[in-house]
Amino acid sequence: MNLVIITGRLVKNPEAFTTQSGLTRSTFDVAVQRKIKNSDGKYDADFLTVVAWRQTADFVNKYMTKGRMVAVTGTLQKRSYKAQDGSTRYVTEIIADSVEALGGRDKEPEKGKFTEVEDDDELPFD
């Protein structure tokens, strides 16, 4: 089974593309923190490239920005291409099935969105 699930922060704003046939594509990098500290006592990060298509790409291009925490599920894909110098280059990417925003960058929760309940009897359930 080829299934990838990552959480991390966008390294930069997504790059939006439209193919000649009209399909929307979004490419972005996610910094994913490792679980184990390095010899300096800090956590290293892996920078993983994600490609989203169609509605998922539209969502990413509209709402995701640099620094945003995201969760991505998808599949791992390896491809190759010929570089300008004629050499073959290999790329490993995550092809996103879904991308979810996990929160903003340095944002506090908005206050005043909830109504305070004076008495539990006012609640519509037991």
Query: For each successive 10 residues of the chain (126 residues), what is the average pLDDT?
Result: 96 96 96 92 94 96 94 97 95 97 59 57 59
Query: Does 112 map to a domain?
Result: no
The verdict on residue 36 lying in a domain is yes
- For CA atoms 88, 45, 77, 100, the dihedral sign is negative
User: What pLDDT score was predicted for residue 119?
Assistant: 62
> Distance between terminal CA atoms of the chain?
44
Whole-angstrom CA distances from 71 to 8, 17, 41, 99 are 7, 21, 26, 6
Is position 119 within any domain? no
Hey, how many other C-beta atoms are within 10 angstroms of the C-beta on 90?
8
Q: What CATH number did the domain enclosing 58 receive?
A: 2.40.50.140
* Domain contains 60: yes
Q: Which domain holds residue 43?
A: 4-106
92 assigned to some structural domain = yes
For the chain, the domain total comes to 1
User: According to the model, what pLDDT value does residue 114 have?
Assistant: 56
